[in-house]
Amino acid sequence: MKPDPTTNLRTELARHDNVIADHYRIGAYFYDTIVHGFQLFIGGAREWRNSFIRFIHPSCNETFLELCCGTGAVALALAKRTGGPVWASDLSVDQIRVACFKARFLRRNVHFSVQDASSTGYPTSFFDGVIISGALHEIAPHRRAAIYRETRRVLRTHGRVFITEPDLPKNGWGAACFECMFGEWSREHETAYQLVGGGLEAEMTVAGYKLEASATSNFGVFKHRRFAVSG
Ligand SMILES: C[S@@+](CC[C@H](N)C(=O)[O-])C[C@H]1O[C@@H](n2cnc3c(N)ncnc32)[C@H](O)[C@@H]1O
C-alpha cells in the first residue's frame, strides 16, 4: 500500500473538524487507565472488550481493519484471536504511538498508522470486516457520514461493519451511568445523544447498510452492532 501524498493535509483537516481536536495529545498516555476507571461502575472495560470480540466472532482467514483504533485494544485482541495481520489507524499520533508500543510488547501482528478514518489510504474492497469501537459518539455528524462512506469503499462486497458505541438504556443503573458520562456538562453530550435510541442505525441505513445483529453489554451502556451492505 503506497502512502498517499494528500493524506497529511486531509488528516490535518479532520483534526480541526473534530470535536476532540487535540484531546488525545497527552490523554493517549493515560487513555487505557481512564477507560478502565470510567467503566468500573458498569462491569469493567474488560467485559466491554471481550463481549465485543465475541460478538465479532473473528476467524483466521478474514482481513480486519479497525478505524479510530485509539491505543489499539480491539485490534490487538483481534490479532491475538486470528494471528493477524490486522490493520488499524487513528487520527492521533500519540494514540498510535501507544498502540505500537503495546503491539511490540505483546508481539501482535497489527499494522498501525495515523489516518483520518473518513479518507484513508487503504485499498478499495480489501477488508472482510471494518471495526469502529467507542469513537463515533465524539465525532461530528458530517465526518461520521464520511467515515461510513469510507467503510463502504474499503469493504469487500460481502464484508461486515462492526460497531460498538455507548447507548442509553431505558432506565436503571445503566441509564444513570450513561447520564453521568454524557450529561450536558460533557463535551461529547451532543454527539453521543445523536447516536442513541436508533440514531446510529438510522445513519447507517442512509449510508447504505442494514443492521444484521446487535447485542448489549455493561448494563446496556454499550451496544454492539453488525451491519451488511444493503441491496
Ligand atoms: C474514545 S477513543 C476510542 C478508541 C478505541 N477505538 C477504543 O475502543 O478504545 C476515540 C478515538 O477516535 C479517534 N478519532 C476521532 N476522529 C477520528 C477520525 N476522523 N479519524 C480517525 N480517528 C479518529 C480519536 O483520536 C480517538 O483515539
Triad 91, 93, 99: Cα angle to 5°: 95
**pTM, whole model, 2 decimals?**
0.92
Q: 91, 102, 163: which to mutate for ligand 1, most atoms within 8 A of CB? A: 91
Give strand pairing partners of 160.
129, 228
Task: Give the domain ranges of the chain.
Answer: 7-229
Instruction: Collect all residues with Cβ–Cβ distance below 8 Å to 161 and sequence separation of at least 6.
Output: 129, 130, 131, 132, 151, 155, 204, 209, 226, 227, 228
Q: Which residue has the cell 502512502?
A: 3
Q: Which residue has the cell 483534526?
A: 15
pLDDT digits (tens, 9 = 90+) for 131-177: 999 999 999 999 999 999 999 999 999 999 999 999 999 889 999 99
SS3 state at 3? coil
DSSP string, 22-90: TTHHHHTTTHHHHHHHHGGGGT-HHHHHHHHHHHH---TT--EEEES-TT-HHHHHHHHHH---EEEEE
14 lines ligand 1 (CB under 6 A): yes
pLDDT digits (tens, 9 = 90+) for 187-221: 899 999 999 999 999 999 999 999 999 999 999 99
Rounded mean pLDDT, 39-67: 95
CATH architecture of the domain formed by 7-229: 3-Layer(aba) Sandwich (3.40)
Q: Amino acid identity, residue 210?
A: K
Beta carbons of 219 and 42 less than 8 angstroms apart: yes
Is pLDDT above 80 for 102? yes
What pLDDT sits at residue 2? 57
CA atoms within 13 A on the CB side of 45: 13
162 lines ligand 1 (CB under 6 A): no
What pLDDT sits at residue 219? 95
118 lines ligand 1 (CB under 6 A): yes
What pLDDT sits at residue 48? 96
pLDDT digits (tens, 9 = 90+) for 60-93: 999 999 999 999 999 999 999 999 899 999 999 9
Residue nearest (by alpha carbon) to ligand 1 atom 14? 68
Ligand 1 mean position, distance from CA 98 (Å) = 13
